Structures are given as C-alpha cells and as structure tokens.
C-alpha cells in the first residue's frame, strides 16, 4: 500500500496539471484582435495618400469592434464608429478600413491637432493597439500628396 505522502504528492501533481490545462484552454478560448496599419501610396502622385487598417480576429470567440480611435498631438482623442452597432468579427474573420490624408480622422478639435496614433475599442471596452500606426500615420501626414486629388477608393 502506498504511503500517505506519496498519495498526497500524486494528488498535488494531478491538480497542478489540471490547473495548467484549464488555464491554457481559457487563454486560448478568447477573442484576440490583431490589427496592423499600412501607409498606402497613390498611383498617380506616388505619395502616401491614405492609411489602411487591417483587422483580424485570431481568437476563438467573436468580438464586436465599435470604434477606431485616434490620439492627437494635444493628447485629445477622437474617432469614428466602424459600423452601426459595431463590426462583429467571428473566429478568423477579417475587416479593413481606410481613411485619407485629408479626411476628418487626420485632425481633431478647433485647433486642428494632428493625428499621432490609432487604436481599436470593442463593445466590452477593451482596447487593441494597431501595429505600426504611429509610423504610417506620420508618413501619410508628411507626404506631399496634393489636396483635391482622390486619396483612396
């Protein structure tokens, strides 16, 4: 017959293994939003004319994205709704949104503060960083794309 100490150690190892497995399953069974931005160049001017944001749900649960937020030079925030009621992304689903150099997203407030960074917000209030947003927004803002020429499709 095994000793009580051996039985206790076996029970402890079994419970630790169960906790580890449960933690892994819970971690994997969630919504994970992956977002990346791109500076898009215009086919006629050759200058950067718009920012494209590609969003994917790489998790197992659906997520409803509500806002694309911008952070501006004066530390204010402004944004736009992705769709009425939000944009629902199921597992593996993707969404794209784009705004141009002269669109309202690029400036905020009466003092016309320039856009610096972007992030997404879902219906639960969680925020998701958009990869390379600072770099691409700066590239579009500094471009010499002429006013009056269409920026994106």
- What are the tens digits of pLDDT across the range 15-41? 999 999 998 888 777 778 999 999 998
> What is the average pLDDT across 72-99?
90
Q: Which has the higher per-residue pLDDT, 142 or 26?
A: 142
- Res 4: pLDDT: 87
d(CA 31, CA 2): 45
Class of domain 31-142: mainly beta
At residue 146, φ and ψ (nearest 5 deg) are -70, 145
Q: In 10 A of CB 81, how many CB atoms? A: 12
Give the pLDDT mean for 111-136.
92
What mean pLDDT comes out for the span 40-63?
A: 89
How many angstroms separate the first and last alpha carbons of the chain? 77
pLDDT value of position 153: 60
| Predicted local distance difference test score (pLDDT) of residue 143 | 86
39 burial type by CB count under 10 A (0-12 exposed, 13-18 middle, 19+ buried): buried
Banded pLDDT at 93 (limits 50, 70, 90): very high
Range 109-132 average pLDDT: 90
Looking at every residue in the chain, the average pLDDT score rounds to 88
């Amino acid at each position: 017959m095994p000793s009580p100490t051996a039985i206790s150690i076996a029970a402890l190892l079994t419970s630790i293994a169960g906790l580890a497995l449960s933690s892994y399953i819970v971690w994997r069974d969630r919504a994970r939003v992956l977002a990346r931005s791109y500076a898009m160049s215009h086919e006629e001017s050759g200058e950067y004319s718009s920012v494209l944001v590609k969003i994917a749900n790489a998790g197992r649960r659906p997520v409803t994205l509500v806002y694309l937020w911008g952070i501006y030079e004066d530390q204010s925030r402004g944004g736009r709704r992705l769709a009425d009621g939000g944009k629902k992304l199921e597992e593996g689903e993707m969404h794209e949104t784009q705004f141009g150099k002269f669109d309202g997203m690029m400036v905020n407030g009466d003092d016309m503060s320039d856009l610096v960074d972007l992030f997404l917000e879902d219906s639960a209030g969680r925020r998701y960083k958009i990869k390379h947003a600072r770099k691409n927004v700066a590239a579009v803002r500094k471009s010499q794309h002429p006013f009056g020429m269409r920026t994106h499709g």
